[in-house]
Amino acid sequence: MKALTLKAKNYRNLKEIEINPDPGINLICGDNAQGKTNLIEAMWLFTGCKSFRGSKDSELIAFGEETANLEFEFYAGGREQKAEMTIDKRRSVTLNEVKTQSVREMIGVFSAVAFSPVHLNIVKGSPEERRKFIDMAVAQSKPLYAKILSSYNRVLKQRNTLLKSLYSTPSLSDTLDVWDEKLAFYGADVVIYRYEYTQLLKNEAVQIYDELSANREGFSFEYSPSIRNICEKDGEIFEIKADRGKVPVDSEGKAVRNEIYRRLFSNLVKHRKDDISNGTTSCGPHRDDFEIKVNLVSARSFGSQGQQRSCALALKLAEAEVLKKITDTSPVILLDDVMSELDPSRQDYILNRIRDKQVFITCCDSTPALNMCAGKIFEVKNGEVKEYSKK
């Protein structure tokens, strides 16, 4: 996967620009509010996902303009491809001169992994932030998961609506079994996808964190599903403990879907009285969390800012490695303001030791360019871009 050419017009504060990036490292320098992040954000939109900054589509258009236009040429699927995006009230995409029905059709066509300061919330934020990270990562590598998760969230919303209406219409409680069965059905798949992905992710993340920290710190990442207790299947004991991040597995290492379904449904029934009282669903994959530790203690509670940044970065770089293994294609890596709070050895790892991938790095200080072995440097000022080659 390689970005070949990016053109932008009326996109945020960018003037009419065109860049032809290096197939390796690309350093994007400039002061704050000049357009550095806008450059990699524009590229990210071609993954089919929303802005990694959480912006609405209407906020992507330059002030005073009605539309923004992006053109993107990239290498994927063994050939050069071209996508064009128009942004007005929403985004629309044409891929290889064929108009897509939805921008989501770009998921899996062009793949990228983005890190920005907002991703520090993976470590510092709520469980919802960690679930969001895992869910987006799984969806990029296995697009079917996005549909499963959407179905789960739709049923969850319908169940919560029903719970709120039971005070005025108690007779509707008879229909809860139907919703609980559906929620457990989709929830079992969500748990399996998350568990299997987490096993791959943590192996890569541990290795990357070891290299980032020069083996000075220990890193761990575990899935803590909301289903608990111990169950038995075919004479074997399967642990489901949130504090150890385990779900039931058989001798071949596959998640035992039926047992997860049974446990989820049982928990929904068990907590039904409280759910009716509170008007919301208290258990299920939407309550899952992921434990991130450095030197055996919580990175969220006890990690330094540099350690927290390293944890988030290791997880995002591990996401790229897992995506490569699953799809047999290296995604483009987009790193926004990644250098701050990292010591020189960790900066060197990012600049010179991320191999076999195209990388874009934004920073305010151009000093890291002195340590680059190869690549291109782009200077962004007042929405305009100048290009330099690193010889």
Contacts of 206 (CB under 8 A, 6+ apart): 219, 220, 221
Measured between alpha carbons, how far is 348 from 344 in angstroms, rounded to an integer?
A: 6
Q: What is the reported pLDDT for 369? A: 64
Q: Give the number of other Cβ atoms within 10 Å of residue 373's Cβ.
A: 11
Residue type, 284: G
Residue type, 90: R
Contacts of 137 (CB under 8 A, 6+ apart): 197, 201, 319, 322, 323
CA dihedral 159, 51, 32, 308 (to 10 degrees): 50
Check if the beta carbon of residue 369 is closer than 8 Å to that of residue 377: yes
Measured between alpha carbons, how far is 291 from 300 in angstroms, rounded to an integer?
A: 9
Half-sphere exposure (CA, 13 Å, Cβ side) for 354? 31
Q: What is the reported pLDDT for 202? A: 93
Q: Which residues of the chain are modeled with pLDDT < 50? A: 229-246, 251-253
pLDDT tens-digit series, residues 275-316: 999 999 999 999 999 999 999 999 999 999 889 999 999 999
Q: What is the reported pLDDT for 371? A: 66
Measured between alpha carbons, how far is 274 from 271 in angstroms, rounded to an integer?
A: 5
Check if the beta carbon of residue 80 is closer than 8 Å to that of residue 73: yes
For residue 336 the two structure tokens come to: 């926004």
> Helix, strand, or coil here: 243?
coil
Measured between alpha carbons, how far is 160 from 180 in angstroms, rounded to an integer?
A: 11
Check if the beta carbon of residue 81 is closer than 8 Å to that of residue 5: no
For residue 328 the two structure tokens come to: 């047999």
